[in-house]
Amino acid sequence: MIFNSLDFAVFLPIVFLLYWCLNHHLKIQNLLILCASYFFYGWWDWRFLSLILFSSVTDYLIGLKLSNEKSIIKRKWLLGTSLFTNLGLLGFFKYYNFFLDNFRTAFSFFNLSFNSATLDIILPVGISFYTFQTLSYTIDVYREKIQPTKDFIAFGAFVSFFPQLVAGPIERASRLLGQFSKTRTLSYKNAVNGFNLMLWGLFKKIVIADRLAIVVNEIYNHPQEYHGFTLIIGTVFFAFQIYCDFSGYSNIAIGCAKLFGFNLMTNFKTPYFSKSLSAFWRRWHISLSTWFRDYVYIPLGGNKVNKCRWYFNILIVFVISGFWHGAQWTFIIWGAIHGIFLIIESIKINQKYFINNWFSVIRVVYVFSIVCFGWIFFRANSLHDALYILENVLTVSNYQLSQLSFYMIPVVKQSVYATDVFLSLFFILLLVASEALNLKYPFRCFQFRYKLPFYILLIWSIYLFGAFEKNEFIYFQF
């Protein structure tokens, strides 16, 4: 089930009431969370419950074994078993057909045939997220940063915790697992803050992201019908769509967890106000970027190596990050784009003369432009579409600004109306203004102090302006 569905609106209050009726019964509360999480996940396809259960049992047992094993070789074998099991499942379900298709293409260059049947594989929802979460537990136990838990119910609930199961934040055992062993109490402030976050997340998803999706889907699903300003508008709209969609999910997840007495990590910190690309990645999908930093970048040597190796480390991390997002070359290129621009940014002469002396607003626009350039490949349905869009976006210099309305006309057709375009622009401006204010004034304090008007305003806005088609969150597909 998804957060913006009637099913979840029924599911959450039932679990919430049962959970707090069991107050002071910690193990039973954890068992309820585990069962509720499996029910939540099984709502999509109950067959995939076996995968998450298998990963949980495997890493739980390996964690216990690592705590008693002193042999370095055997410890490495145990860690390798966890990596092979989890990444093997992820690779099979997510990347099997990708590698198969590319093997066929490679063999065709030499006039050789490579016959192997393509499998009709359904990608389990959230497998990339819970795989990384359970892997971080095993790696941290191996590094002796944490002690393994002997409570399987708590560990299973940690892996499958339903608020953040399918799209993060990707939590570490050092932060979340310990919360399952502590008595939790229902506080008024936590409940109000949690509800505020959930309501704000639903507003960003239903009112902004899903309305932007109407325009973005029309343009990106038929890119050959558009050019110039229309493609630029579609790309900028997608930048805000994916931000509101994903940060909206994170808001709902964090708020929902607060209702049950848990604290999840912040996943977004106004990333589109970043003045450098490195700052953007410290503020966008923070749980994933820090995961790659701690478990890939630093083990490769990080920046404690010579410059050529350092640049390689940056590039390979972002290529892997792109591949994590999807089994398509467009995602790999998207990751490579960010890696290359981060390498350029890291060169001191460029930092001194090309970036640091810019005015703040220009620097923000510069970073946003690079991010949007990457979004073209991220959103395009194929590499061919991405190259077409890029080529035709670059022709914008041939157009006069006075012709903007003319080039917007093709957007206003079929299922896309002028209302969707102008409402989208209005809510983007509203979002930018609210986040600019949030940089100076704590928005949560405003929410808490003026909670009743805030509730009424958001609920009324969702009712009036929400796009209520059943749209899953974008990151569910990853």
Q: How many CB atoms sit inside 10 A of residue 71's CB?
A: 9
Q: Is the alpha carbon torsion for 10, 12, 17, 21 positive or negative?
A: positive
In angstroms, the CA 414 to CA 399 distance is 25
Structure token pair of residue 402: 């006075």
Please name the residue that has the structure tokens 């359904």. Answer: 122
In angstroms, the CA 159 to CA 170 distance is 10
DSSP string, 261-325: T--PPP--S-GGG-SSHHHHHHHSSHHHHHHHIIIIITTTTTTSS-HHHHHHHHHHHHHHHHHHH
b/e string for 126-150 if b means 16 or more Cβ within 10 A? Answer: bbbbbbbbbbbbbbbbbeeebebbe
Query: Which of 86, 451, 127, 440 has its CA nearest to residue 295?
Result: 86
Query: Which of 52, 194, 76, 75 has its CA nearest to residue 125?
Result: 52
Contacts of 197 (CB under 8 A, 6+ apart): 251, 252, 254, 255, 258, 444
Determine what percent of the chain falls in helix, strand and coil, rounding each to the nearest 5: 75, 0, 25
- Cβ atoms of 444 and 196 closer than 8 Å: yes
Q: Report which residue type is found at 166.
A: V
- DSSP secondary structure code for residue 123 in this structure: P
Catalytic residue among 227, 285, 325, 338: 325
| 325 is a catalytic site residue | yes
Structure token pair of residue 42: 């099984």
- State the angle between helix axes of 229-259 and 210-221 in degrees (0 to 180), rounded to the nearest 10: 140
In angstroms, the CA 387 to CA 95 distance is 23
Query: Which of 79, 397, 438, 53 has its CA nearest to residue 273?
Result: 438
C-beta pairs of 163-166 under 8 Å, 24+ apart in sequence: 163/252, 163/253, 163/254, 163/256, 163/257, 163/260, 163/262, 163/264, 164/129, 164/253, 164/257, 164/264, 165/37, 165/40, 165/41, 165/126, 165/129, 165/130, 166/41, 166/125, 166/126, 166/129, 166/473, 166/476
H or E element, residue 117:
none
Catalytic positions, please?
A: 325
